[in-house]
Structure formats: structure tokens, C-alpha cells
Structure 1
Amino acid sequence: MVFLIQKSQNKDSKAIHLKLSEIIASHQGTSNRMVNIEDLTELELDQLRKFYVQLSKLAAKEDA
């Protein structure tokens, strides 16, 4: 039972971080694409996370 609760909390945590990434990455307002992100699978969340990691690396290079 504890495992199931932990897994759910981890997934929600990933979703919250991705939503924050979307807000930060938006320059002229936010997007509605992340509104129901909690409904995505873990694989889909991981793919989105990888996208935002790459986006942040690209932004860091442009700032340097």
C-alpha cells in the first residue's frame, strides 16, 4: 500500500515540476497544454521532462 501511495506522489511531483517548467519557459503567457498533465503516463512525463531539460540547456548556452 505504501508503495502505491509513494508512486502516486512521485508522479504528481513530476507533473508539478513540468507545469512549473512550462510557466518558466513561456515568454508571453502560459499555455494550456499542461493543464491535465497528471493524466499522462510515467513514460510521457519522462519524455516531457527530457524535452525541458534540453530546453534549459539550450537557454543556458544562449545566455553564456
Structure 2
Amino acid sequence: MKFDRFAQWLANITGRPLTFGLALLLILTWGISGPLFHFDDTWQLVINTSTTIITFLMVFLIQNTQNRDNDELHIKIDELLRTTKRAHKALLDLEDLDPAALHALRKQYQQLGEQDGRHEGKD
């Protein structure tokens, strides 16, 4: 639970325009400092190592955030399906279906959508 709170806090911080601006400022500062360090290998290694470490850690943060958002969305949609009288209750467990069954169901709903579109035009 502590990691989830930390990940949410960090995701909120890293997603702000100010954070982007600070990262951009650091990159610009690094670029401008190139002539001072004669564009040597250590100067290049600093940015390569820093960005690699940050990217590596951000992958896990993004995955945690996506998992949480996905779970929240599923719960909300499940509640809407559960409370809608005409909804197909079988749709509540879509995440348990295999890819072939999901594809067949998607085709079925595409056909229903096309039929609905044809009926709307006749009204």
C-alpha cells in the first residue's frame, strides 16, 4: 500500500508542467555546458546514465499507474453494467475471456452497432 501511495504521489508530481520544465532546463543546462567540458566522454556519460536510470524507473511507475487506472475503470464500468437493466450481465467478466472469445464478441457488437446505425437512419 505504501508503494501505491508513493507511486500515485510521484505520478502526480512527474505529470506536472513544472516538472517537465525542470527536466527541459536540466537538458538545456547539460547541452550548454558541453563546450565547458569539451564534449568529453564523461559529459556524455552523465546524461546517458541519468536518462537511462530515470526511464527505467518511470516504466514501473507508469505500469503501476496504468494498472490502478485500469482497475478503477473496470469497477466503474462493471457498476454501470450491473445497474443498467438492459445490459448483458455476461459483460461483467470480459477480462476472463480468451482473445478468440473477445474477438468474436467484438465482431458481434460491431454488427449490432451497424444495425443500430441503419435503424436510426430510418426514423
**How far does the alpha carbon of each residue in 1:1-60 deviate from its partner, in whole angstroms, 9 at most, with x for none?**
xxxx9xxx9xx8xxx7xx7xxx5xx7x432321111111110100000000000000000
- Paired residues in the alignment total 45
1:26-41 to 2 correspondence within 5 Å?
A: 28-41=85-98
TM (normalized to structure 1)? 0.54
Aligned to 1:56: 113
Q: CA RMSD in A?
A: 2.9
Q: Extract structure 1 runs of 4+ deviating beyond 2 A.
A: 28-31
Q: Which has the larger radius of gyration?
A: 2
**Other structure's SS at 1:35 match:** helix
Counterpart of 2:96 in structure 1: which amino acid?
D
Please list every run of 5 or more consecutive structure 1 residues that lacks an aligned counterpart in the other structure.
Answer: none
Partner in structure 2 of residue 44 of structure 1: 101
Segments of structure 2 that go 5 or more residues without pairing to the other structure are 1-62
Tell me how far 1:62 sits from its aligned partner.
0.4
For 1:58 and 1:29, the matched residues in 2 are separated by: 17
